[in-house]
Structure 1
Amino acid sequence: MKSSSNLEAFLQAATPLLPWRSATMERFQGAPSSVWQQPDGKNKDAVEYFALSDLWEHYAESSAYGLAVPVRDAGDRAVVTTQHFVPYLSAVQLYTATKPTSHSLGATSRSTGSETDSWSDDSVADRFAGSGSSSWDAASDEDDSSSTYDGNGSTGVSAKQSGYLNFQYREWDSPYERVPLAHKVAELAHDYPCLMSLSSAELSPSSWMSVAWYPIYHIPAYVNLKGSSACFLTYHSISSVFQDNIHNGPEHDDGEIAALSPFGLATYRMQGDLWRRPGSSDPRRLSELHWAASSWLKQVGAHHPDFTFFTSSHRQ
């Protein structure tokens, strides 16, 4: 049996597995206008979703101990080492169908390098009109021909489906000045409770997040693992509309789980063959995922500092 490549092992390990829930429309405030239904939803009275609180909880263990990824040495495939990565919240945008009901001023802290915003009124296009290339605006609501990338290689989400920008965050600090993802979200949630209260069903197809993964150590430590300094930037859709990877949960769980597989990827300090197995599909996969991430950022008009850093030509 052919073993998976190290890249495949990382992508699998970096995929959140979340409880996939079902509820009636009445559970959602302002339903059905506040709910984005899956295109092939059979029961219009039932809404399927995962809770954002479950998403952040998923990162609690890796934020504390690191994400463990089993990797095989490029020179000796028999040598298996466990590489650990710490996750950081790199960027997130939450678009909802309705305008936020309570006013919450956006907070911008250039001293810490990060930017956080939460809006209560005005469409995302109106809010950022004329703000230039560093804006986060989606396509104008007045342009029906505009579309966003769906993470699967196709477009077709019209601008009117972008919704209203409820919350956004992007990180500017160096990795050495950041706190792990679970701790950062806990910090933000004090001022922006929507991070814990919203569900994927209430988020438009334009909603997404990015996680920066930096290596911290490998076990056994004495192994000279060339290429172990590689860093990854994963992109995940957090709207129910794009969750098509649903399957049965563990045997002890009767429910289903949603697998938020990365639809995009960027890498930094990628050296040697550790993450690009010779003769495998790794190089093509890396190229496709990088293109998808770049395409997505262009479609939603987002300037993502970590993506710029990871892909700067002089750092390749």
Structure 2
Amino acid sequence: MGGRWVEEYGRSSNLQFFLNCTTPAVEMRVLPKMNGRSSNDAWHHAEMDSVEYFNLADLWEQYYEWSAYGAGATVQLYGGERVVQYYVPYLSGIQLYTNKSLTASRSFVAENGMDFWSDDEDNEKMSRSWSSTSEDSLFNCDAIGGNRRRHGHLYFEFFEVCSPYGRIPLMDKVYELSQGFPGLTSLKSVDLSPVSWMSVAWYPIYHIPYQRNVKDLSACFLTYHTISSSFQDYTLENVANGYCPAANWKPNDELDKKTKKTQLAPFGLAAHKLQGSLWTNPRTGDHERLVSLFGAADSWLKQLGVQHHDFNYFITHPM
């Protein structure tokens, strides 16, 4: 290695470049308070003069170009050369808990073209339908049965189980699912309980300029994001190492001052095919960050009683 490359590599974090390029930034709006309560009965915000929120439609819009062309992350290779690796986002998992019961509260899983759902607003029929459908169901309803009311009303959940080659990009999947569940695009973040979350799977498609035999560029990632306005008021007990997802949900001062935006930085992360040291520069604390983010994702899923298919695959097939 040349001394110049060692110096440059010491300052570079490919992992951080990836996270920066795949973190959505959504426009924040203001919901005024009316007659002692917010105009939308926002979750835990009745005492505030106003509530900041974002529309789920605006969140999905952030993935429009990424879904069509891929999100480009700059990666510095071992020899010092930089390439732009493009990743396509796929909706890996999502749970939307609302602060009040909506018309339909349903569970959806894509597996062999079959849909399973329940219209019971307290989700007890859903628990029975899942247990009778498959012993390997992707959601363990009994595990959080005692905490359902604390979480809110489960409006919608989806867990992808298809092979990456059989999936459609995130924006297309959201559009497809919203045909049956319009709340996916019409709900506001203030409508959602603090435990509402989503996971995005990022799979590499190509890099520019092309490099032969760079196996480390085949790495895949799962990012986990909370999507409620109120999770900063909520503390999930015993999150790994005292990690608080709310710490990553904050305005980005570098964005346009005229339009206030908030970055939904991932609170959790899992990786697949993460070989070598390309993504874990010892000089930038990447390994420790990966461990912390993985622990937070693992703790979150366990405490919600969720069996996340992609997460389980990643941890059982690390290479």
TM-score tier after normalising by the smaller chain length: 0.7 to 0.9
Instruction: Describe the shift of the 1:220–1:188 C-alpha distance in structure 2 as closer, same or farther (beyond 3 A).
Output: same
Residue 79 of structure 2 corresponds to residue 76 of structure 1: yes
Match of 2:201 among 200, 203, 212: 212
How far has the Cα of 1:76 moved from its partner?
2.0
Per the alignment, residue 113 of structure 2 pairs with 112
Name the residue aligned to 1:121.
121
Structure 1: distance between partners of 2:182 and 2:118: 10
* CA distances 1:100-133 after superposition (whole Å, capped 9, x unpaired): 1x247655553237x67574511x5774379488
> What letter is aligned with 1:95?
Y
Q: Match of 2:66, as an amino acid?
A: S
- Change beyond 3 A, Cα 1:136–1:35: farther
Identical aligned residues as a percent? 42
Structure 1: gaps spanning 5 or more residues: 144-158
Aligned CA distance change for structure 1 residues 25 and 125 (closer, same or farther; 3 Å): farther
Structure 1 Cα separation of the partners of residues 302 and 105 of structure 2: 27
Structure 2 counterpart SS, 1:23:
strand
1:203-256 alpha-carbon deviations (Å, 9 max, x no partner): 1011000000000000001455340000000000001123541244634x5131
Question: Cα–Cα, structure 1 residues 53 and 181, in superposed 2: closer, same or farther, change >3 Å?
Answer: same
* C-alpha separation in 2, matches of 1:50 and 1:118: 28
User: Hey, what's the Cα distance between the residues in 1 that align with 2:111 and 2:189?
Assistant: 30
Which of residues 8, 16, 41 is equivalent to 1:8? 16
* Contact 2:11–2:283, Cα closer than 8 Å, also in 1: no
Q: Tell me what 1:203 maps to.
A: 192
Superposed CA RMSD: 2.8
- 1:215-230 equivalence runs, <5 A: 215-222=204-211, 224-230=213-219
Q: State the Cα deviation string for residues 139-162 of structure 1 (Å, max 9, x = none).
A: 345x6xxxxxxxxxxxxxxx6430
Q: How many residues align?
A: 287
Q: Distance in 2 between matches of 1:282 and 1:166?
A: 36
Question: CA separation in 2, counterparts of 1:278 and 1:25?
Answer: 49
Paired letter, 1:299: Q
3-state SS of 1:89 partner: strand
CA contact (8 A) 2:107 2:158 kept: no
Shift of residue 54 of structure 1? 0.6
1:35 corresponds to which residue? Answer: 42
Q: Residues 119 and 52 from structure 1, CA distance in 2 versus in 1: closer, same or farther, beyond 3 angstroms?
A: farther
Structure 2 distance, partners of 1:60, 1:296, is 27
Matched, 1:309 2:284: no
1:48 and 2:47 aligned: no
Q: Is the CA contact (8 Å cut-off) linking 2:31 and 2:39 kept in structure 1?
A: no
Work out which of the residue numbers 170, 175, 193 in structure 2 matches 1:186.
Answer: 175
Match of 2:11, SS?
Answer: coil
Q: 1 CA distance for matches of 2:218 and 2:189?
A: 34
The answer as to whether partners of 1:116 and 1:168 remain within 8 angstroms in 2 is no
- Kindly indicate which of the two structures has a greater share of residues assigned to helix: 2
Q: Quickly say closer, same or farther: Cα 1:120–1:270, change in 2 above 3 A.
A: same
Deviations 1:171-209 (A, max 9, x none): 000000000000100111111100011111111011000
Q: Structure 1: which amino acid aligns with 2:295? A: W
Q: 1:255 aligns with which of 247, 254, 259?
A: 259
Amino acid at match of 2:28: W
Assess if the C-alpha contact under 8 Å between 1:235 and 1:262 holds in 2.
yes
- Distance apart, 1:307 and its partner CA: 0.4
- CA change 1:106–1:309 in 2 (3 A) is closer
CA contact (8 A) 1:118 1:168 kept: no
User: Distance between the aligned counterparts of 1:295 and 1:105, measured in 2?
Assistant: 24
- Is 1:245 equivalent to 2:250 in the alignment? yes
Structure 2 CA distance for partners of 1:58 and 1:165, relative to 1, 3 Å = same
C-alpha separation between the residues in 1 aligned to 2:93 and 2:109? Answer: 14
